[in-house]
């Protein structure tokens, strides 16, 4: 082998060896990056799993956010939970949530001390509905929103005094049993029976679901809801829940499979 050829051979080997070392370094770097990405993925999965487990198993959904429908205040007492007929029931500080929906009727009261005020999410949803109704030439306003236990006690007492207890139980809730105390219900425009024949009432019935509301006491459901038809009384349950309930054609009690009957 000539000196020149020998030199070329040594040079080629060095180049080849250098390339091998470079490929090896690249391979090591890629493997290191892969391990780092795998560890990050595992960390994300574990973190996400922990966050999911910290959310109550009653989430809508929506709209809870839901919901508030959905949104639940932090519990200061242990939460009791049960599953009945595929619905999840939770009792938090004396309040009953079914599938994330705060339930208030003749069977499910609120503590006298519960004083949340008008729910901000429900109010915001109403304001959007109010604006869209205005664009259609209609004026919607809240005649009665949040009512405290004491305020409901006065209102119910007036009905009893004027027309007796049986009548009062058809048109008004006893203190502690009113949805108005939840801060999630409101009466719109008028509480007169004639409101049912107005353009506003028809607009609400056709459109309130889009904003997360339902007509809480529908026509021909008095034996189930425990209250006379109230086209003005809307209840915020979150958009997803409102759509499901509306599409079912059922009132809230039927939809959740619950009763609304005073114990006495």
| Residue 87 domain-assigned (yes or no) | no
Cβ(93)–Cβ(104) below 8 Å: no
Q: Residue 144 pLDDT more than 80?
A: yes
3-class SS letters over 121-187: HHHHHHHHHHHHHHHCCCCCCEEECCCCHHHHHHHHHHHHHHHCHHHHHHHCCCCCCCHHHHCCEEE
129 and 47 share one domain: no
Q: Residue 68 pLDDT more than 50?
A: no
- pLDDT above 70 covers a percentage of the chain that reads 76
Check residue 161 and give its pLDDT.
Answer: 97
250 and 167 share one domain: yes
Q: What confidence tier does 26 reach under pLDDT thresholds 50, 70, 90?
A: confident
Residue ending a domain, among 11, 30, 54, is 54
| Residue 99 domain-assigned (yes or no) | no
Query: Of the candidates 88, 86, 91, which has an alpha carbon nearest to the alpha carbon of residue 108?
Result: 91
47 and 143 share one domain: no
Query: Of the candidates 260, 227, 259, which has an alpha carbon nearest to the alpha carbon of residue 159?
Result: 227
Q: What does each C-alpha distance from 136 to 132, 200, 233 come to in angstroms?
A: 7, 10, 21
Q: Which structural domain, as residue segments, surrounds residue 161? A: 120-256
143 and 226 share one domain: yes
| Residue 187 domain-assigned (yes or no) | yes
Residue ending a domain, among 38, 54, 70, is 54
pLDDT digits (tens, 9 = 90+) for 69-83: 444 444 455 565 555
125 and 223 share one domain: yes
13 and 132 share one domain: no
Check residue 125 and give its pLDDT.
Answer: 98
pLDDT digits (tens, 9 = 90+) for 168-225: 999 999 999 999 999 999 999 999 999 999 999 999 999 999 999 999 999 999 999 9
Q: What confidence tier does 64 reach under pLDDT thresholds 50, 70, 90?
A: very low
| Residue 75 domain-assigned (yes or no) | no
Check residue 63 and give its pLDDT.
Answer: 38
Whichever domain contains 180, its CATH number is 3.30.1380.10
| Residue 97 domain-assigned (yes or no) | no
Q: How many domains does the chain have?
A: 2
128 and 46 share one domain: no
| Residue 151 domain-assigned (yes or no) | yes
Q: Residue 262 is inside which H or E element, if any?
A: none
CA 252, 119, 148: angle at the middle one, nearest 5?
85
Cα–Cα distance measured from residue 64 to residue 114, given in angstroms and rounded to the nearest whole number: 18
125 and 49 share one domain: no
pLDDT digits (tens, 9 = 90+) for 35-63: 787 777 777 776 665 544 443 333 343 43
Q: Residue 87 is inside which H or E element, if any?
A: strand 87-92
124 and 241 share one domain: yes
Q: What is the maximum span of the chain, computed from C-alpha positions, in angstroms?
A: 124
38 and 147 share one domain: no
Cβ(144)–Cβ(191) below 8 Å: yes
């Amino acid at each position: 082998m000539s000196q020149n050829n020998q030199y070329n051979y040594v040079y080629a080997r060095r180049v080849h060896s250098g390339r091998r070392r470079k490929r090896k370094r690249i391979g090591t770097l890629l493997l290191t990056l892969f391990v780092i990405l795998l560890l990050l993925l595992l960390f994300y999965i574990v973190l996400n799993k922990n966050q999911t487990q910290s959310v109550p198993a009653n989430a809508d959904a929506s709209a809870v956010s839901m919901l508030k429908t959905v949104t639940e205040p932090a519990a200061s007492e242990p939460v009791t939970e049960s599953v009945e007929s595929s619905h999840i029931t939770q009792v938090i500080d004396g309040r009953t949530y079914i599938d994330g929906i705060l339930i208030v009727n003749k069977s499910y009261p609120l503590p006298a001390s519960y004083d949340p005020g008008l729910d901000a999410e429900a109010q915001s949803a109403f304001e959007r509905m109010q604006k869209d109704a205005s664009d259609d030439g209609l004026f919607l306003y809240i005649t009665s929103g949040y009512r405290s236990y004491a305020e409901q006690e006065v209102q119910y007492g007036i009905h009893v005094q004027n027309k007796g207890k049986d009548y009062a139980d058809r048109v008004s809730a006893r203190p502690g049993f009113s949805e108005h105390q939840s801060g999630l219900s409101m009466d719109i425009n008028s509480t007169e029976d004639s409101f049912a024949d107005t353009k506003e009432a028809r607009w609400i019935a056709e459109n309130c679901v889009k904003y997360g509301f339902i007509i809480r006491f529908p026509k021909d459901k008095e034996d189930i809801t425990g209250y006379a038809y109230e086209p003005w009384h809307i209840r915020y349950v979150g958009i997803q829940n409102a759509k499901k309930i509306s599409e079912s054609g059922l009132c809230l009690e039927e939809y959740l499979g619950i009763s609304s009957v005073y114990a006495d």
